[in-house]
Amino acid sequence: MNPAGRRAVFLDRDGVINRMHYDSDFGLVDSPSNPDQFELLSGVGPAVRSLNETGLSVVVVSNQPGIAKGKFTPALLEAMEARMLTDIRAGGGTLDGIYNCLHHPEAVLEQYRVRCGCRKPEPGLLLRAAADLGIDLSNSYTIGDGVTDIAAGKAAGTTTLFVNSRKCYNCDALVENQTWPDYLVSNLAEAAAVILTLEAGDRESAEQFRLKCESGGVR
């Protein structure tokens, strides 16, 4: 990695930045498939702004197989990202980059049906962003609500924060994959607060967010 480089916070998108969407036709909760379904979670814009003000770059790294599955088009993905940028900006925040993996091993569109190095839990998206933006991964952070996010962040050498409102009462996937986040938080705003505490050198205060995971009986 580049020890002289900038430092960053890598954000998963769905479930961290925006709400998941309930599809009443199929009775499923999934990623939004058009900008009308895209709804920013509370506090996201100010949380991103607080990270910006600390001098950290904020970069989205997201598995987005919806095009590969035939659920939406590249134009709709662009429209959702435009909505995301606008809504975050309205809260005072700025994103420094968006990196998506569009592949899926069972894609209905053949050009996306590949086993790649960018689909999380592989760290390819973070590695690409680091190369493009000159990011020092060893002094950066990854925030996600899935085990694949934590695994990718660990593989890239970042400090990981797991967004889970259930406080690890139900972290079976972490146990199954033997993948442990460095910190457990309720949402992006709390994750940003932990990072600001760490950046201020107050690791003792941040320890309470480690203990939530451990006291939940996960390890």
**Active site amino acids:** 12, 14
The CA-atom distances, in angstroms, between 116 and each of 72, 104, 120, 130, 213 are: 21, 8, 9, 18, 31
Question: How is the beta sheet containing 97-101 ordered, strand by strand?
Answer: 97-101, 57-63, 8-11, 141-144, 159-163, 183-185
The CA-atom distances, in angstroms, between 145 and each of 20, 122, 134, 168 are: 12, 16, 25, 12
Q: How far apart are CA 204 and CA 154, in angstroms?
A: 22
Residue 209 parent element (H or E): helix 203-215
Contact 85, 95 (CB under 8 A): yes
Pick the closest to residue 71 from 40, 17, 28, 118 (CA basis).
Answer: 28
